[in-house]
A and B are shown apart, each in its own frame.
Chain A
């Protein structure tokens, strides 16, 4: 039996077997996923745009002060591509986030390794101390003639 035969026979399925709504649910899920992505993207773009506008305002204020003092600098024209090169874009955010995450992970591992080394050393010292004290106690007792 080939898959094609099965597909052919499926063409004659009873309607009540086809009436399930899982295809509609698929579509609904896709729509919800698309909407979530769209809203996230929109928020990132809005945040980036607001940040770039704010930055531009601050620059204008600084340049305005400079001109008042007579430094003679020309006012720079606003870049048309601020959003694309803005370090506040999503890609930059992701890069910073993953970089920080990586560093944090490495740092925690480093601290764990050091803590294991220190605790191992302390256990070793403690064991040696117990052995030494026991030895001294035995020697002392032997000297006093308690042990035969």
Chain B
């Protein structure tokens, strides 16, 4: 089944669409999510299901002329897995502290103020520009590292490079981004 047919089926809330989606993209989603969450099998399964659910609920909002279904799936899977990873880490840190009464005080406030949101939007736009100007290979390394959260070893193996070469490139890229963002007080 081609992508367009899957989208049409999901738009009319037909379960066959989700079945076809899972068959066609299930492995890709699992690969992306596993790269971020590691070997937490239960969390991986939950994230995959959350990704399907988000597609099911928000399919009407997606503009498939702008990007393909696969691209939307990658972004949703990545962000869902990243949120899950942070939740798990936060949970582990708080469990170690033991005192439940202190939990409420220690949970950071993740809501951003309006001003912070505007600054964040500017920074994201700036980062987009920087990434857009990178050569293809460096852009791929950047995306693999900071979008898909792959390790240097995985990147090196996938791109036929040495781990040292990947680390050197990443270090240079970080330096360049630091320069670009020096105006925001990032050092």
Contact = CB atoms under 8 A, between A and B. Distances in A.
Label chain B's interface by main secondary structure: helix
Interface of A: 1, 3, 5-24, 26-27, 29
B177 A6 contact: yes
Contacts of B74: 18, 23
With a 10 A CB-CB cut-off, give which of B128, B132, B140, B177 has the most chain A CB atoms.
B128
Given A1-B178, A26-B31, A27-B27, A18 B147 contact: yes
A100 B70 CA distance: 51
Closest 10 CB pairs of A and B: A12-B124, A15-B67, A1-B186, A10-B147, A10-B146, A19-B71, A6-B146, A9-B127, A14-B128, A9-B124
Nearest to A24: B28
Interface in B78-135: 78-79, 82, 120-121, 123-124, 127-128, 131-132
A11 B79 contact: yes
Contacts of B82: 7, 11
Given A1-B177, A15-B66, A15-B67, A20 B143 contact: yes
Contact of A17 (B68, B121, B128): B128
Candidate in B121, B124, B144 with the most chain A CB atoms within 10 angstroms: B124
A17 B143 contact: yes
Interface residues of B, number: 38
Contacts of A3: 146
Contacts of B149: 7
Interface string B38-79: 000000000000000000000000000011101110110011
Contact of B31 (A1, A6, A19, A23): A23
30 contacts: A1-B181, A5-B186, A6-B174, A8-B120, A9-B120, A10-B147, A11-B78, A11-B82, A12-B120, A13-B75, A13-B124, A13-B131, A15-B75, A16-B67, A17-B132, A17-B139, A18-B74, A18-B143, A19-B67, A19-B68, A19-B71, A20-B140, A21-B70, A23-B28, A23-B31, A23-B74, A23-B148, A26-B31, A26-B158, A29-B158
